[in-house]
Amino acid sequence: MLHIREAIVVEGRYDKNILSQVVDTLILETGGFQIFKDPEKMALLDRVARRRGLIVLTDSDGAGFVIRNRIKGTIPARYLKHAYIPDVYGGGPPPAPGAASPPPPAC
> How much is the pLDDT for 24?
96
- Over the stretch 52-88, which tens digit does the pLDDT of each residue have? 999 999 988 899 999 999 999 999 999 999 998 777 6
> How much is the pLDDT for 84?
83
- CA dihedral sign of residues 35, 39, 44, 50: positive
- Over the stretch 17-56, which tens digit does the pLDDT of each residue have? 999 999 999 999 999 999 999 999 999 999 999 999 999 9
Structure-derived torsion over alpha carbons of residues 14, 16, 17, 18, reported in degrees to the nearest 10: 90
Chain centroid to CA 13: how far?
11
User: How far are the Cα atoms of 26, 63, 78, 83, 86 from residue 60, in angstroms, in the given order?
Assistant: 22, 8, 22, 10, 6
User: Residue 59: which residues within 8 A CB-CB, separation 6 or more?
Assistant: 11, 15, 85
